[in-house]
C-alpha cells in the first residue's frame, strides 16, 4: 500500500519519525516523477501533517553523514543520558519537560575578541542549518544513528574571533535545580561541564545541534543547543549549553572529575583499549539484538585520526 488514508492511521503512529519518513517518501516519489504520472491526485489522501512547532525547512544534507538507517524517533528520544533529570534512561523523557528553553541565552567569554551574552537567535540565525546523520556511541556500549539538525561549531566560534591564546573550548550546561531535579543530588559535580581542544572544536565534523528528525530538539535531547562530537563518546556531547569559554588551560570535564581513572579529557571510542570495568570491542545498536564491532573513532577515523597523531591514546585517554 502506497498511501494510507488518515482513518487507517492510529494516533500512536503519527509520530515525528513517521511524518519524516512520509515526507521523505513523498519527496522521493515526486522526484521520480510519480506525482506527475499520477496527476497529483494520488497524493492528496496523504495524512494531513499536524502543525508542528519548530519544524526546520530547506535543510540541506551536510557532509560526513552515515549511510546507515537512523534509529526511530522514539528510540532517540526515550532512551537518553541526561543526569540533570535522573540516571535512568527513561528519566529524561519523563522529566525534561520541566526545563524552560525559551528564552535562552549563552555567555561566550574568555579568549575571544567578541565576548558577550548572545540570545539563541543571535547564535543560530547567521548559519545555514544542515541535516547530518551521525552515529552516537555511549561509553556504556550502546549506540544510535541520529539525524541531527545543526551547523559546525567552528563556524560559530570564528564569529567571536578567538585570540591566539585560545587553546581549548569549555562548555557548561545550565545549573538550575528548580528545573533540573537531578541536580538536587550530588550524582555529578554540577553544572555538567565538557571541553575540547581547539582543533577538535574547529573540526568540520563537530556540530552544534538544534534539532533532530527535522524538528526542534526535544528537551531530553539537550534543547535548545547541544554539542555533537561524533568520533567521541556520547558524554563529550554536552546538552543544554549556557556558556562557551575559550581558554588557554585545559578545562575540567564532568566525567573526569567524577572518575578520573576511567574518563580522561581525550576519552575516545577506542575498541583497542578496554574501559577499566568492561571491554570496548563491541556495542549494541539500540533496536538491534546482535552486537556490532565498535569502530576506532566511532568510524570517523579517516577524518579525525590525524588530530591525535603522535599521542598515545592509551595514556591520553
Ligand X SMILES: Nc1nc2c(c(=O)[nH]1)N[C@H]1C(S)=C(S)[C@@H](COP(=O)(O)O)O[C@H]1N2
**Interface positions with Mo ion (CB under 5 A):** 81, 138, 234-235
Residue 134: phi and psi, rounded to 5, are -120, 150
Instruction: Tell me whether residue 168 or residue 235 sits nearer to ligand X (CB atom).
Output: 235
With binding defined as CB under 6 A, does residue 173 bind ligand X? Answer: yes
Rg of the Cα trace of the chain? 20
Site string for ligand X, 183-222 (x = CB under 6 A): ---------x----------------------------x-
Site string for ligand X, 121-150 (x = CB under 6 A): ---------------x-x------------
Window 240 to 279, contacts with ligand X (CB under 6 A): 240
Among residues 17, 84, 111, 130, the one that binds ligand X under rule CB under 6 A: 84
Residue 13: phi and psi, rounded to 5, are -85, -15
Residues 6+ apart with CB under 8 A from 186: none
- Give the alpha-carbon dihedral of 16, 22, 28, 31, to 10 degrees: -100
Min CB(283)–ligand X separation in Å = 12
Q: Residue 175, SS3?
A: coil
Stretch that binds ligand X, among 38-46, 107-115, 231-239, 258-266 (CB under 6 A): 231-239
State the pairing for strand pair 193-197/226-228.
unpaired
Stretch that binds ligand X, among 12-20, 54-62, 80-88, 113-121 (CB under 6 A): 80-88
Closest CA relative to residue 313, chosen from 225, 231, 193, 223: 231
- How many angstroms separate the CA atoms of 80 and 73, rounded? 12
Closest CA relative to residue 245, chosen from 174, 195, 191: 195
Among residues 80, 268, 280, 298, the one that binds ligand X under rule CB under 6 A: 80
- How crowded is residue 290: how many other Cβ atoms within 10 Å of its Cβ? 7
Stretch that binds ligand X, among 19-27, 52-60, 76-84, 299-307 (CB under 6 A): 76-84
Of Mo ion, ligand X, none, which one sits near residue 82, judging by CB under 5 to 8 A according to partner kind? ligand X
Write out the residues near ligand X by the rule CB under 6 A: 80-84, 136, 138, 173, 192, 221, 234-235, 237-240
Amino acid at each position: 500500500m502506497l498511501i494510507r488514508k488518515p482513518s487507517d492511521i492510529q494516533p500512536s503512529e503519527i509520530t515525528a519519525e513517521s511524518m519524516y519518513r512520509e515526507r521523505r517518501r513523498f519527496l522521493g516519489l515526486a522526484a521520480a516523477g510519480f506525482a506527475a504520472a499520477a496527476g497529483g491526485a494520488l497524493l492528496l489522501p496523504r495524512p494531513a501533517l499536524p502543525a508542528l512547532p519548530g519544524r526546520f525547512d530547506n535543510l540541506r544534507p551536510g557532509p560526513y553523514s552515515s549511510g546507515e538507517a537512523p534509529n526511530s524517533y522514539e528510540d532517540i528520544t526515550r532512551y537518553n543520558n541526561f543526569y540533570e533529570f535522573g540516571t535512568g534512561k527513561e528519566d529524561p523523557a519523563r522529566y525534561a519537560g520541566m526545563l524552560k528553553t525559551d528564552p535562552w541565552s549563552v555567555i561566550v567569554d574568555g579568549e575571544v575578541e567578541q565576548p558577550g551574552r548572545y540570545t539563541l537567535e543571535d547564535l543560530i540565525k547567521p548559519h545555514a542549518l544542515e541535516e547530518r546523520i551521525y552515529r552516537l556511541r555511549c561509553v556504556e556500549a550502546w549506540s544510535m544513528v541520529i539525524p541531527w539538525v545543526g551547523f559546525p561549531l567552528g563556524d560559530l566560534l570564528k564569529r567571536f574571533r578567538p585570540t591566539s591564546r585560545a587553546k581549548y573550548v569549555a562548555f557548561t550546561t545550565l545549573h538550575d535545580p528548580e528545573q533540573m531535579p537531578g541536580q538536587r543530588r550530588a550524582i555529578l559535580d554540577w553544572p555538567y561541564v565538557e571541553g575540547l581542544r581547539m582543533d577538535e572544536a574547529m573540526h568540520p565534523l563537530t556540530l552544534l545541534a538544534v534539532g533532530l528528525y527535522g524538528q526542534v530538539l526535544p528537551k531530553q535531547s539537550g534543547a535548545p543547543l547541544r554539542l555533537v562530537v561524533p568520533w567521541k563518546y556520547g558524554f563529550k556531547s554536552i546538552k543544554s549549553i549556557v556558556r562557551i569559554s575559550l581558554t588557554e588551560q585545559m578545562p575540567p570535564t564532568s566525567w573526569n572529575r567524577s572518575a578520573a581513572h576511567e574518563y580522561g579529557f581525550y576519552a575516545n571510542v577506542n575498541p583497542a583499549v578496554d574501559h577499566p570495568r568492561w571491554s570496548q570491542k563491541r556495542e549494541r545498536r539500540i533496536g538491534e539484538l546482535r552486537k556490532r564491532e565498535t569502530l576506532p573513532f566511532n568510524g570517523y577515523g579517516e577524518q579525525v585520526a590525524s588530530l591525535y597523531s603522535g599521542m598515545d591514546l592509551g595514556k591520553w585517554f
